[in-house]
Amino acid sequence: MNETNVFLLPDLGEGLTEAELVTWLVSVGDEIRVDQPIAEVETAKSMVEVPSPYAGTVAVLHGEPGQTLDVGKPLISVTAPGAAASKPLADESATPAADAAATAYREEEKAGSGNVLIGYGTPGGHGQARRSRPRRAGSGAPASASANASTTTVSPGEGKRMAVSSPLVRRIAKDNGVDLGSLHGTGPAGLITRRDVESALSTPHAPAVRSSQDQPASASTTPASAGGSADLDSRTGLDVSSRTPVKGVRKAVAANMTRSRRDIPEATVWVDVDATALVELRADLKKRDPENTPGLLAFIARFVLSGLKKYPELNTRYSAENEEAEIIGFDGVNLGFAAQTERGLVVPSIRNADRLSARQLDAEIRRLSSVARQGKATPAELGSGTFTLNNYGVFGVDGSAAIINYPEVAILGVGRIIDRPWVVDGELAIRKMVELTLVFDHRVCDGGTAGGFLRHVADAIESPASALADL
């Protein structure tokens, strides 16, 4: 009896469908325990250490660092303690039974069955994962089914067979014209991995030779050996210097921003604000208590939350999922703020921010900024905002036509605070000026509401002592 448990990559939070394998924390042959971290993966939201639901000996690692793995596909195979180690399959992820199990897994995720627990594989009692052996030759399986389930690929015109780790690898090779028959697989049992294909593409003489069937009869091609380029962009006529896969955070940002611009009829209002009094107030507080004085962004966040209490239309969500569209309001504010990290732009949110003081907001901004930069922010911290504050002034710019963080309905941008000439009581003076820009969904409110909110925040910045006295 086969005692090897196959752990399928779980949904690591809020319906994510894939993750990039960053590094393995264990090796084949290692003895592991339940809940021991086995791999570090990067999702569209954060870096996550994945724990094992099984104890035993690592039999197979299903994937290479840098490879994108689908949720519901095998991540690791573990032989139970005391069981005789059986010869691992070359690629269990390509068997019909494993594909069926993965499909069922994803369907349960979509349906929200609650049977799939993060970090504990597929349903089946006590975290037991489904696993099926491949049919042996002559077992009565239809020939077509065996062909479709095979993990080997025949090189056209050569009759050569090679092991390929996943359909994704085959697709990348096909899209880039790489002859898999000429590659040497570096994966387990000689599997050709995504890294092997990408390595071939990066070499000067990559085995990128398409068959004549793949080329239109009228297409003119210039072989690299004849002095032409192996990767020439037909539209610009220039050599392609690089190809960067869009994945992880960048992929999530791209999808979210595209949907926002496509679905939301946005409008923008802005105002120049004299922040001299706020800057002086903070400087005075810092002299009294250097260690516990909130940053300027925390004060502005406090004024934003006051404005959202007065203009709650901007702390809503527009939903057209039902027969009749509706505007969904919230009892409280989860205040998001844009944070630039090495992985890209993320928006962690302070839950129930409306209940916090400026000092408490400052502590949360610092904490969430730190975990976001480390890639350790949780999906809940990155996906639960109801309004976003974007301090692009740290990049040395004054204003920006920001894109709303879908599915929110508004975003407030804060530019840099700089010295400018400004008229005060009829006299020209040098003041600390900042530009505020509000982008809002015109479906949830009109310009009067947006302008009223923006003016409320601006007035609080210009008279901070009075505003803080009322909070």
Return the HEC string of 1-69. CCCEEEEECCCCCCCCCEEEEEEECCCCCCEECCCCEEEEEECCCCEEEEECCCCEEEEEECCCCCCEE
User: In the block, which residue shows the tokens 């069926």?
Assistant: 100
Q: What's residue 365's pLDDT?
A: 96
Q: What is the pLDDT of residues 437-459, one digit of tens each?
A: 999 999 999 999 999 999 999 99
C-alpha torsion angle, residues 209, 214, 218, 221 (rounded to 10): -10
Q: What's residue 360's pLDDT?
A: 96
pLDDT at residue 82 greater than cutoff 80:
no
Q: Return the structure tokens found at 120.
A: 């504990």
Q: Return the structure tokens found at 333.
A: 């504010």
Contact (CB, 8 A) for 373 and 279: no
Q: How confident is the model at residue 348 (pLDDT cuts 50, 70, 90)?
A: very high
Q: What's residue 99's pLDDT?
A: 52
Among 31-35, 421-425, 440-444, where is mean pLDDT lowest?
Answer: 31-35
Measured distance between the N- and C-terminal CA atoms of the chain, rounded to whole angstroms? 68
pLDDT at residue 362 greater than cutoff 70:
yes
Please provide the average confidence, as pLDDT, over all residues in the chain: 78
pTM of the model: 0.59
Rounded to whole angstroms, the Cα distance separating 24 from 106 reads 24
Q: What's residue 411's pLDDT?
A: 97
Q: What's residue 109's pLDDT?
A: 41
Which one has a higher pLDDT value, 388 or 466? 388
Q: How confident is the model at residue 229 (pLDDT cuts 50, 70, 90)?
A: low
Q: Residue range 243-247: average pLDDT?
A: 84
Among 39-43, 165-169, 281-285, where is mean pLDDT lowest?
Answer: 165-169
Q: What's residue 104's pLDDT?
A: 46
Q: Residue range 355-367: average pLDDT?
A: 96
Rounded to whole angstroms, the Cα distance separating 164 from 93 reads 11
Q: What's residue 323's pLDDT?
A: 78
Contact (CB, 8 A) for 385 and 332: no
Return the HEC string of the chain. CCCEEEEECCCCCCCCCEEEEEEECCCCCCEECCCCEEEEEECCCCEEEEECCCCEEEEEECCCCCCEEECCCEEEEEECCCCCCCCCCCCHHHCHHHHHHHHHHHHHHHHCCCCCCCCCCCCCCCCCCCCCCCCCCCCCCCHHHHHHHCCEEEECCCCEEEEECCHHHHHHHHHCCCCHHHCCCCCHHHCECHHHHHHHHHCCCCCCCCCHHHCCCCCCCCCHHHCCCCCECCCCCCECCCCCCCCHHHHHHHHHHHHHHHHCCEEEEEEEEECHHHHHHHHHHHHHCCCCCCCHHHHHHHHHHHHHHHCHHHCEEEECCCCCCEEEECCCCCEEECEEECCEEECCEECCHHHCCHHHHHHHHHHHHHHHHCCCCCHHHHHCCCEEEECHHHHCCCCCCCCCCCCCCEEEEECCCEEEEEEECCEEEEEEEEEEEEEEECCCCCHHHHHHHHHHHHHHHHCHHHHHHCC
**Displacement of CA 434 from its chain's centroid (Å):** 32
Q: Residue range 173-196: average pLDDT?
A: 76
pLDDT at residue 281 greater than cutoff 80:
yes
pLDDT at residue 416 greater than cutoff 60:
yes
Q: Say whether 442 is catalytic.
A: yes
User: In the block, which residue shows the tokens 């192996």?
Assistant: 230
Of all residues in the chain, the percent with pLDDT exceeding 90 is 45
Q: How confident is the model at residue 29 (pLDDT cuts 50, 70, 90)?
A: very high
Q: What is the pLDDT of residues 116-166, one digit of tens each?
A: 333 333 333 333 333 333 333 333 433 333 333 334 444 444 444 455 545
Which member of 62, 184, 442, 456 is catalytic?
442
Q: What's residue 459's pLDDT?
A: 97
Rounded to whole angstroms, the Cα distance separating 125 from 122 reads 9
Q: What's residue 140's pLDDT?
A: 41
Q: Residue range 250-258: average pLDDT?
A: 83
**Nearest of 330, 343, 318, 315 to residue 411 by alpha carbon:** 315
